[in-house]
Structure 1
Amino acid sequence: MRYPILFGLVLFVLSCNTPAPADLNNLPSAKDTLHFFSKNVNDSFTVYINLPAGYRSDSSKHFPVVYLLDANLYFDIMATVLNRYAEVGLAPQVILAGIGYKDFPEMDSLRNRDYTYPVAIPDYEMPVSGGADKFLSFIDEELAPDLDRRFRTDTLQQTLMGHSLGGYFTCYALLQRLSGKQHRFRNYIAASPSLHYNHYFLLDALKKTVPSKTDSLNVYITFGGLEKQDSLYRQLSSLFPSGSIIKKTDIYSALDHMDTQLPTFIKGLQWQLGQ
């Protein structure tokens, strides 16, 4: 399905003060910054948390968790949009967990390491790559269980979403779920995933995967019309024709590669979480 532009661009507010770390002895604040050292990756990560308004007013409710990649770039604006949209019923109330790095330059260099698999072919000239398996183990075995202990999370409604190489990693995590290697996420949102990586390695692997009929998953993948990915779009549209994988693929006709992330994230959450 092809769409015109659905959203005006929202200005980034990246000059906000860094919120204080969570105090586990008190009710957590609406925004927290947590710091994790991952044994799987052998490196440290900064995780930004945004709690929905209902978290503080309803002390018994558990909330879906949305894990957002490239958080140094996207967390502030996604938290702002989700908060405002949730106020007027246009977005679900979720716990937003943005996985980031010490700063933007570090994110720009290390995302190649963490979001890709296998190691990049020489043509890409990536100094580090191929660590998606370790990064997924960090989320699945270290980060997510810790957040489940700290916050009232709905462990049956957890979403992974990313853009570009982050979208590639989201599809990689989907492949691992379909292969029975991880069971954390039920929902996957990938904006303009870089599936050309290593001569479409991941797309070929997805084509060969037979989903379990008992695995109820929701998958939303988009591209911008100006990316001219019609062939790739058609291939993705034909994946998983039967079974319990609920898949939706869209093209935003007037958008390019760097324009698809915000409408994809919002529309994906609205679709998957019932708004």
Structure 2
Amino acid sequence: MIYLPTLKNLLRITGRLANNKKFHKSILSYVLACIGCLTACQQNSERKPESKSGFNLYSNEVKDTFSIYIQKPLEYEEKAKSTYPLVVVTDANFYFPMLAPIVHQFEQTGLMKPIILVGVGYDSLEKMDSLRVRDFLYPHSIASDEMQAEGGARRFQAFLANELLPGLADSLRLNTDKVLLGHSFGGYFSLLTYFEQVRSGASNFNKFVSASPTIWYNDFYLNRLTDSLKNNGKQDSTAIYLSVGGLEDSVWYVKPAEVMAEKLSSDAVKNLDCTSITYREMDHMDVGLFSFIHALKNWYKQD
């Protein structure tokens, strides 16, 4: 059994990031808002059955153990016959403690339909920094990347498809909607997973959020995959939410995201609904949480 992110942990993360010179102050306001939501959720915990759980899961594909966080809808126990969309967020050590209370708050106030939120993380926030490089990128890095990455994303994809998702399907009441959320390297992984599904004909996820993806990686490797999408009718109907911050580097983030959005929105790409947005006043670290919330609200707004 693992310990889920708590208010104390979220405060610790906030304090650490606030001292980081690269940490944009506007995202700090998001975190502080989430602390308020999390406090309210904890205060209400006596009135509702516990909706959060977590466990450690060893992957034979990756040869490592992942921390899995699960948040069920507030109504989950009361509506025993209902099924729900599954939303999987990577970088869960950072994003799950912020996103989870907002999802519950939106459900409670009628702003969004209930979803099951699952976070895939690591033993600690510190370990996440290096292990996300191992798991989210493919192929291996080249000299121009100015970083070392072994290109293990194929193994991580296999972990999700062959180990995590089947287990969740057996233990949770899921409908057919499955969403993958990723930011930065995680945003790259979301796009990579979409391209791999088109290539293989798999349908593990039908919605993707790619926030500020590192499209520059490996000399813009993802751009070389877009031709495979043209007139390829075998993929199921899919939605992609692609976002970038207007204050991000124009050469390495803004322009590549615009080019990718144009390619994905081509009439030659079948069965794909691509929404692209540039958040003009946001920098790299601002975009992830906001994109996740915006996309989920659009996809699962109440009728």
Which runs of no fewer than 5 residues in structure 1 stay unpaired? Answer: 17-27
Output the CA distance in 1 between the equivalents of 2:126 and 2:169. 29
**How many percent identity over aligned positions?**
32
Output the CA distance in 2 between the equivalents of 1:52 and 1:39. 30
Q: CA deviation at 1:128?
A: 4.2
- Aligned twin of 2:160: 139
Output the CA distance in 2 between the equivalents of 1:85 and 1:8. 18
| RMSD of equivalent CA atoms | 2.2
What amino acid is the match of 1:159? V
Look up the SS of the partner of 2:282 in the other structure. coil
- Aligned residue runs from structure 1 range 220-239, under 5 A: 220-227=241-248, 228=250, 229-239=253-263
Q: Residues 181 and 131 of structure 1: is their aligned pair in 2 closer, same or farther, counting only changes over 3 Å?
A: farther
2:60 aligned residue (26, 39, 45): 39
What amino acid is the match of 1:262? L
TM-score, normalised to structure 1, is 0.87
Look up the SS of the partner of 1:9 in the other structure. helix
Q: CA deviation at 1:123?
A: 4.2
Q: CA deviation at 1:232?
A: 2.0
Output the CA distance in 2 between the equivalents of 1:204 and 1:214. 18
The 8 Å contact of residues 59 and 159 in structure 2, kept in 1 or not, is answered as: yes
- Aligned twin of 2:11: none
Count, aligned residues: 257
Q: CA deviation at 1:212?
A: 2.1
Output the CA distance in 2 between the equivalents of 1:194 and 1:251. 15
The 8 Å contact of residues 92 and 269 in structure 1, kept in 2 or not, is answered as: no
The 8 Å contact of residues 212 and 257 in structure 2, kept in 1 or not, is answered as: no
Output the CA distance in 2 between the equivalents of 1:133 and 1:254. 34
Look up the SS of the partner of 1:90 in the other structure. coil
The 8 Å contact of residues 140 and 182 in structure 1, kept in 2 or not, is answered as: no
Q: CA deviation at 1:255?
A: 0.1
- Aligned twin of 2:272: 245
Look up the SS of the partner of 1:203 in the other structure. helix
The 8 Å contact of residues 224 and 253 in structure 1, kept in 2 or not, is answered as: yes
- Aligned twin of 1:167: 187
Which runs of no fewer than 5 residues in structure 2 stay unpaired? Answer: 1-25, 39-48
Q: CA deviation at 1:87?
A: 1.1
TM-score, normalised to structure 2, is 0.79
Q: Residues 61 and 194 of structure 1: is their aligned pair in 2 closer, same or farther, counting only changes over 3 Å?
A: same
Output the CA distance in 2 between the equivalents of 1:29 and 1:271. 27
Output the CA distance in 2 between the equivalents of 1:107 and 1:100. 7
Output the CA distance in 1 between the equivalents of 2:227 and 2:258. 12
The 8 Å contact of residues 190 and 222 in structure 1, kept in 2 or not, is answered as: yes
- Aligned residue runs from structure 1 range 1-275, under 5 A: 9-11=30-32, 13=35, 29-124=50-145, 126-154=147-175, 156-210=176-230, 211-212=232-233, 215-227=236-248, 228=250, 229-240=253-264, 241-242=266-267, 243-275=270-302
Output the CA distance in 1 between the equivalents of 2:75 and 2:280. 36
